Amino acid sequence: SRGKWEKQRRNRITSPSFIKVTLADTEIKSLGPNHVNVQFSQNYQSDSYSDDVRKLISLQKIDDQWLITQEKTVDLKLNEKQDIPPQEKSYHLVAELEQHNENVSDYTEETPIEEVSTEDEGGILRRRDVPPETVLEERSGSPRHESHQAPPEIDPIARPAEFDREFFGSDPTYPDNVYDVAEQIKIYGGKTPFDEPRPILEWGYPLYSEGALGRTYTTFGEKNLLRPQLLVFGDFRSALAFNDNGNQEIGQLAARLNLNVDLKLTSTERIHMFLRPIDKNNNFLRHEFFGNDHGEFDFVLDGNLEALFFEGDIGAIQSGLTNEWATYDLPIAFGFMPLLFQNGLWVEDAFIGGAFTIPAKNSPKFDISNMDVTFFSGIDKVTSAAIKNADGQIEDSKSNVFGVTTFIETREGYFEGGYGYIDDKRNGGLSDFDYHNLTASWTKRYGGKISNSVPGFWALGQSPSGGNTQTADGFAILIENSLVTHKPLTLIPYANFFVGVDRPQPLIRGNDGILKNTGIAFETDGLTGFPKIDSSGQDVYGFAVGIENLFDLSRQVVFEFATVQPFGGQSETVLGDQYALSARYQHNLNDRWILRADAMIGILDNADNLSGIRLEIRRKF
């Protein structure tokens, strides 16, 4: 039965060898300036099948475009009784498709005329191109076969059913309810296309263009087509801030430009570059109203690259070079590239190195629906707060990093785990600050009432030379919770708790500590030096509780109370208890402009209090 089924399938692919479609007796009825009905008779003939049907097509004019709103088959007997009004035009059209033998097909095309007979060669429409070999080839059933999936498994008792037109009725008709396109759009909330922000440069083809795939090139092979596109996009941030960081008060107007240059090569390969041309080493283009540089204007230009890397897929590249479909995916990246794991808590840095991922694995035995494993390594620009010079400045060129991380979806939850190693390349008295770093987290929603995530970090194995103090030796546990309200996507009360023992460190990131995402009181703005309470998580415990409302996704309001409590009332990094009240407001003024305002008050024991207020405008392009 299997052999018979495959033979029937091959016959359907190569047959029929002749097709003729005749359209005649066309009636055009105007139901108004924006509504037209078109009826015509269609005769279909081939060497294996023929039929005659009468069809009706309704068209409506919506936004200066004629759209087909209905297409159905009508009863021929009913139409025989109708007369064609004299003002209506009648058209006659014939189309034929011929195939001379099973292996070679010759096709030609001639210009059709309005009225021809079935014998008139001038009215024959032939296929424009010879069909590709993959259309006529025999299906092998192998999943590796070119452009085809394996045929479905069929029970040996089952047999393919022969087509019988009597089993199919005409399309339903609704004579009392005229199809209205405008009313159907209302079903989807009245959503219509809008003028979205565009990149400042779009070369090759537009971003998110609709329609058929445009021109491609076989530079990298027929199975990894080149379709180049160059995009330049980013955002411009400008902020007015009044900050009191305890030991310094500054009023300033600062700006920052984030510029992305993206060269897309194929559907999986690209080269990406990131620039920040008007800030350098945390110094931004700015003017101070008061502070140490009162009345001065700092003009900063930076031509250094923040990132430049290649990203692609080895499987797709192999398919193009060998002209055979690869049976695996292996995403890779290398260069001066950014990486982010654990929402930036464990890794958030751009370094010179490489990474590859084993993606989309699963295990029914262990209830794993999806799993990725990523290996990465960096040899320069590795930013770790544990590797500093004698002045306490991070040395990002003095260490290497090696690591592996995994993402596992299992048991209705989400697990992340990783191991990393920082290799201190320095010699002399300030050396041997190498250390191991472990991380694990579990995220899940419980009872439809609370969303919970518990990430943990552990730095160990550091033995500095010369009796120097350890900079990475300890662990931290965060417990992040949010309530599932009647508006689960927009109204989010949250309560996040943490405890850190000794000197926990993330694997690689800047000066921000492990508590960066615990609350808005623990993060600065990356522009004006907005004040924050201690985020190191070293020998402390505490929490952040607050509420966030996103309204209709056009605005954001956050109110938060947070505290940091050092063990014993004081630690090496925190002199005393810290408390903070914070608020944030964001509003997308339109699809290109965003307004953001922040305010905070910090009360610190054994140190000067903190305060800040800022207003930022961001332009996306």
Q: What is the pLDDT of residues 63-120, one digit of tens each?
A: 777 888 888 887 654 444 444 444 444 444 544 444 444 443 343 333 333 333 334 4
pLDDT at 10: 52
Dihedral, CA of residue 144, residue 149, residue 150 and residue 152, to nearest 10: 160
Euclidean distance between the first and the last CA atom of the chain, given in angstroms as a whole number:
61
DSSP bridge partners of 280: 283
CA-CA distance, 13 to 103, in Å (whole number)? 12
CA-CA distance, 91 to 113, in Å (whole number)? 10
CA-CA distance, 475 to 460, in Å (whole number)? 8
Concatenate the DSSP letters of all residues of 116-128 into one string. Answer: --TT-GGG----S
Q: What is the mean pLDDT of the chain?
A: 83
pLDDT class of 3 with cuts at 50, 70, 90 = low
pLDDT at 7: 55
59/443: higher pLDDT = 443
109/485: higher pLDDT = 485
118/386: higher pLDDT = 386
Which whole number is the average pLDDT over 185-212? 81
Structure tokens, 552: 């209709």
* Alpha-helical runs (H) found in 302-433: 314-322
pLDDT class of 155 with cuts at 50, 70, 90 = confident
What is the tens place of the pLDDT at every residue in 528-586? 999 999 999 999 999 999 999 999 889 999 999 999 999 988 888 899 999 999 999 99
CA-CA distance, 112 to 436, in Å (whole number)? 76
Residue ranges of domains in the chain: 2-186, 330-500
- Three-state DSSP class for residue 342: helix
Which whole number is the average pLDDT over 232-255? 93
Which whole number is the average pLDDT over 194-203? 86
Dihedral, CA of residue 71, residue 74, residue 79 and residue 82, to nearest 10: -50
- pTM comes to 0.70
Let me know: does 434 contact 449? Beta carbons within 8 Å.
no
Percent of the chain residues topping a pLDDT of 90: 54
Which whole number is the average pLDDT over 263-269? 96
DSSP bridge partners of 9: none
